[in-house]
Structure 1
Amino acid sequence: MQSLKGKKPIPGTIVFDGTQAVKGYPLNKMCFSFNKAENRDAFKADEDAYCAKYGLTDEQRDAVKKRDVLALLNLGGNIYYLAKLTGMFGLNMQDIGAQQAGISLKEFKAKLFAAGETKNG
């Protein structure tokens, strides 16, 4: 694995490093639990109690309530684990990409289409 030391970060990019992993451990552990249908059902039945069971911080719990994927990423969420959670919210990777870009889903899809046209045209 290549080290990021001495490299310029990409603006707006959250690097999932050891610090982020520690910060997001409870959140990511909860998201991993969603591999089981009964856990997804328990979360849907009482989100707050389920978040409390895993020891999420107040900020993480608030971001879950608000469906704020960017905040969850900043609070230590790993996108691969968050995919289970965001899927339950009805969000896909394009929805998340639009949030990260700060544009609407329609605008994001248009950007993707235009980039594909440029590359293939």
Structure 2
Amino acid sequence: MRKLSLDALAREQLEVAKNSSSHRGARTVFGGHEHMLRQTLIALDAGSQLAEHDNPGEATLHVLRGRVRLSSGEESWDGRQGDLLIVPQAPHSLEALEPAAVLLTVAKSRDRQG
């Protein structure tokens, strides 16, 4: 069994994002390409974003710190610390409205595993 502090990882990755030319940081917390379930802590500096991309399976975003905007097509959803956003099964993007850290949980569909 392994125990991780999401709070400590969020602090660490927010510092990475602050000092990175990409203005983001990420670390896989659980799983990976060989697993169906993957959890990744993503930190974004204010104003930075993850460009529109497809969803590899069912996914949620748990906002650990800050505020974010999840957008898909004409719709968008704002989230703040403590919120859980359901990622749509459509191309979407994520923008940090202020320095933010989220826990992305993805359960890949069997046809996309690997």
Higher RCO by CA contacts (8 Å cutoff, separation 6 or greater): 2
Q: Calculate the TM-score normalised by the size of structure 2.
A: 0.28
Q: Calculate the TM-score normalised by the size of structure 1.
A: 0.27
Structure in which a larger fraction of residues adopt strand: 2
Please say which structure displays the higher CA radius of gyration. Answer: 1
Structure in which a larger fraction of residues adopt helix: 1
